[in-house]
């Protein structure tokens, strides 16, 4: 089985084989760039991380935490679109740009399918079907 994923650093398509460890980078250079970037992030001590996790309600399971944050990003994008309609024109232009950039990033990097992932979409479909 072969499937395609993307390089963590440059987003180049990677062909993956169905056996062994999946490739994360297209080259050694991308792996090094990513590692240097990761090491340049500010350190967070474990006690601070635990407090922030509890305050922000971030799940302990890393996969669940990622899913929660992606849903939050989707919600932020939708919120920006709603607020844009009521914002002053000078601000609305920037809000539209941010919402579009966020949508493009979610689609490109996480293959986000907005129509299928957002729970309100299913509710709206049910409501339309009933009426």
pLDDT 10s digits, 33-67: 988 988 887 777 778 777 877 888 888 777 888 88
Q: Is residue 52 one of the residues assigned to a domain?
A: no
Q: What is the pLDDT of residue 28?
A: 93
Q: What is the pLDDT of residue 117?
A: 46
Which range is most confident: 3-7, 14-18, 90-94?
90-94
Q: How confident is the model at residue 1 (pLDDT cuts 50, 70, 90)?
A: very low
> pTM of the prediction?
0.52
Q: What is the arithmetic mean of pLDDT over 113-130?
A: 53
Our count of domains for the chain comes to: 2
Q: Are residues 19 and 74 in the same domain?
A: no
Q: Are residues 23 and 81 in the same domain?
A: no
Is 84:100 a contact under the CB 8 Å cutoff? Answer: no
Is 114:73 a contact under the CB 8 Å cutoff? Answer: no
Q: Are residues 82 and 111 in the same domain?
A: yes
Q: Is residue 16 one of the residues assigned to a domain?
A: yes
Structural domain including 28 reads 2-40
Whether residue 4 has pLDDT greater than 80: no
Q: Is residue 114 one of the residues assigned to a domain?
A: yes
Q: Are residues 24 and 72 in the same domain?
A: no
Q: Is residue 51 one of the residues assigned to a domain?
A: no
Q: Is residue 45 one of the residues assigned to a domain?
A: no
Q: Are residues 36 and 66 in the same domain?
A: no
Q: Is residue 47 one of the residues assigned to a domain?
A: no
Q: Is residue 54 one of the residues assigned to a domain?
A: no
Q: Are residues 122 and 88 in the same domain?
A: yes
Q: Are residues 71 and 123 in the same domain?
A: yes
Q: Are residues 75 and 119 in the same domain?
A: yes
């Amino acid at each position: 089985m072969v499937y395609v994923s993307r390089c963590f650093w440059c987003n180049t398509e990677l062909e993956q084989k169905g056996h062994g460890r999946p490739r994360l980078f297209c080259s050694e250079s991308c792996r090094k760039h990513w590692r240097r970037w990761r090491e340049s992030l500010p350190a967070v001590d474990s006690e601070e991380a635990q407090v922030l996790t509890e305050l922000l309600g971030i799940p302990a399971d890393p996969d669940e935490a990622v899913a929660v944050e992606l849903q939050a990003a989707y919600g932020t994008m939708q919120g920006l679109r709603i607020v844009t309609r009521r914002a002053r024109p000078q601000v609305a232009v920037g809000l539209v740009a941010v919402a579009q950039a966020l949508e493009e990033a979610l689609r490109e990097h996480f293959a986000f399918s907005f129509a299928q992932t957002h729970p309100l979409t299913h509710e709206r479909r049910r409501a339309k079907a009933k009426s």
